[in-house]
Structure 1
Amino acid sequence: MGTAPTVPSTALVTGASSGLGKEFASQLAARGHDLVLVARSRDRLEAVAEEITRAHGVKAHVVVRDLAQPDAGRAVARELADRSLTVDLLVNNAGFGTAGRFEEIAAERDHDMLMVNVVALVDLTHALLPGMLERGTGAVLNVGSTAGYQPSPYLTVYSASKTFVLNFSLALRQEYRGRGIRVTALCPGPVETRFFEVIGTRNAAVAGSFTTPEPVVRSALKALDRDRAYVTPGFGNAVMAHLNPRRPRTLVAWVGERICRKALQPEAVHGAAARSAAN
């Protein structure tokens, strides 16, 4: 099993104002990390920073940015440079989803989702990983989903974005093994966050049972400590993750369409926003 790597001094967490992002911030602060918290909701972000600083005595810097906007990832990197902040652990957590028939989902919403789930994630990694490499140490933890293990009709663009996150993480990890950089992908099943409120129905959790952020984040950080390529918390989720790639892709898509029909049965959720405030 080996000894866990030295804890990096400063961690940046995107989507840090609620849900998994807030839990990542809390657990990392408990480990002694200073933090850079990124989200688009200033009030909630500052409240999280104040709470964490009071509880753990670490520094918690706030960067307010909507990651769906063009050049958002690079803008965050420029702000870090202006404030002389060095990041040793990047947690690309921000993300949201869409569900329904492809032609009925607003193109603008899918576009914004890809900007957050894919483009900002890659841009931030491009911006911060070279500094880690120069210092000879660092880590990247990317948040994917069990939806990324197979085609998921009616969650079509969302699941494809999470497939990108997983494959990007696995490839990046191979590039930097032996060079002081760890890369891990977290691929959870349904988690009790605002994610499903934003989609508009808990029926979008087409497989697996709900869990809470605390054990998911704990599993992710343990996997990163052990330099694992990816982690899928929960026995049932892990079994699915390992079995699906061993089936013909067209068969997996056929089965996925039948399972994911559940997402077409809307469950009214009051107060759903256009996009997750965690982003």
Structure 2
Amino acid sequence: MKQWALITGASQGIGYEFTMLFAANGYNLILVARDQKRLEEVADEVSSKYKVTVKVIPKDLSQPAAALDIFNEIKGDGLEVEVLINNAGFGLQGPFTEIELSKHLALIQVNITALVELTHLLARPMVKRGSGRILNVASTAAFQPGPFMAMYYASKAFVYSFSCALARELKGTGVTVTTLNPGITRSQFHSRAHLKRDVGMVMMEADQVARIGYDALMHGKPNITAGFINKLSSSVSKALPTRFTTNIAARLNRQNGG
């Protein structure tokens, strides 16, 4: 019997690549994103290519009831989620006080609150049956403050800290938690965040990042940073004084649209 994997932000970028990876490895899929038409296109593509069952749940995770609605729909269908991929997220670039408060709160709802809700709702039955895998997508932005993208950096710092702590809590339960820290990745993330950044060769492809995350998840690793350059820069960020790295981030983010 095929196991079920739930993937948020599944319609494009890293989430889409996770969808393809799990389908290629024989998982049935529950796909969550805002765009119903795009989700259905992905579902048709993956089910015809890999002969797996795909359930589509179009939900906007910025809405407070979304996570519980997803859980209740899954429960009502009698589905048992073995793998949870909390991939959905977005960023905002610009001075904190010049961005509408409603946008900051929507970011918190998607990047933090919905992630925590889905993790809590699905981790409890995983622990009860003694098996399950959770992957939360953080970012290399988690390792330092980010002026002019303050809320995004802070949200990813939360995801990183929460996920690493939960991985330790659940050790020995049969449930693993993996934190994936991508750097700048080629996807629609940048257009949604209105980022104006010439990243050139530093940018990784979404399929590379997803493969790194998938392999880490399947090996039960608690934490993985995608790519050598990202690992190196993250190590430097952790080692240097916060005031120094914050100033660098401020110059980069302000220079590129802040």
Q: TM-score range by the shorter chain?
A: over 0.9
Asked whether 1:215 is paired with 2:215, we answer no
2:191 to 197, 203, 207: 197
Residue 98 of structure 1 corresponds to 92
Residue 146 of structure 1 corresponds to 140
In terms of fraction of residues, the more strand-rich structure is 2
Alignment of 1:249-260 (within 5 A): 249-260=242-253
Structure with the greater relative contact order (CA < 8 A, sep ≥ 6): 1 or 2? 1
1:90 and 1:54 mapped to 2: Cα distance? 23
Alignment of 1:175-254 (within 5 A): 175-203=169-197, 209-254=202-247
Report percent identity of matched pairs.
38
Deviations 1:45-99 (A, max 9, x none): 1111111000001111111111000121111101111111110100000011100
Query: Secondary structure of 1:12's match?
Result: strand
Question: RMSD between aligned alpha carbons?
Answer: 1.7
Residue 42 of structure 1 corresponds to 36
Contact 2:18-2:210 at 8 Å conserved across structures:
yes
Asked whether 1:69 is paired with 2:58, we answer no
CA distance 1:81–1:116, change in 2 (3 Å): same
Contact 1:190-1:208 at 8 Å conserved across structures:
no
> How many residue pairs are counted as aligned between the two chains?
258
Contact 2:196-2:257 at 8 Å conserved across structures:
no
Contact 1:208-1:236 at 8 Å conserved across structures:
no
Query: Secondary structure of 1:55's match?
Result: helix
Alignment of 1:157-176 (within 5 A): 157-176=151-170
Contact 1:140-1:183 at 8 Å conserved across structures:
yes
Residue 59 of structure 1 corresponds to 53
Asked whether 1:262 is paired with 2:258, we answer no
Residue 31 of structure 1 corresponds to 25
Task: Report the residue type matching 1:105 in the other structure.
Answer: I
Task: Report the residue type matching 2:10 in the other structure.
Answer: A
Larger mean CA deviation between 193-202 and 28-37 belongs to 193-202
1:148 and 1:217 mapped to 2: Cα distance? 18
Give 1:225 shift. 1.9
Moved over 3 A (4+): none
Deviations 1:119-139 (A, max 9, x none): 000000110001111111101
Contact 1:208-1:237 at 8 Å conserved across structures:
no
Query: Secondary structure of 1:69's match?
Result: coil
Give 1:246 shift. 2.2
Contact 2:93-2:253 at 8 Å conserved across structures:
no
Deviations 1:20-51 (A, max 9, x none): 11111111100111100011111111111111
